[in-house]
Amino acid sequence: MKKCTLGLGCFWKPEENFKNMPGIIETEVGYAGGDNKDVSYEEVCTGKTGHAEVVRLTYDESKISYKKILDLFFKMHDPTQKDMQFPDVGTQYRSEIFYENDDQKKDAYEVHKEINERFNGKIQTKISKIKNYQKAEDYHQRYLEKNR
């Protein structure tokens, strides 16, 4: 099993979208990319921690490829918006791919380049090495499923 971490706005909807896809074993929402290891939702919401809201996927590479996940990632949000996904505004809602290793980094840059060409250079998605990932509070996990 492999893991990948993606920021595409508020983490509730992406978790809902990914959770039942073939090859996705587990979804978890959290925070990544900031300077501190331990943060709370309230701190992340200030926009001062540097963290993005993210969904972390555990997937079976024999059933779904990382590139396919990235293709879905770009289809699930508007990657041309900087530091927001309407109606949510702030750096914590940015579009960002957090790679775990050199293979993911290479694939992320390849897919980003292809998508950016299709969007005439308007893609705002960042690509960064995973840093300071932290699982979000329990009440955020499967939030939409629990609050229908």
- Residues catalogued as catalytic: 10
The Cα 26–Cα 138 span in angstroms is 15
Phi, psi (rounded to 5 degrees) for 110: -65, -50
Annotate 56-71 with b (16+ C-beta within 10 A) or e (fewer). Answer: bbebeeeebebeebbe
* Residues paired with residue 12 on neighbouring β-strands, in sequence order: none
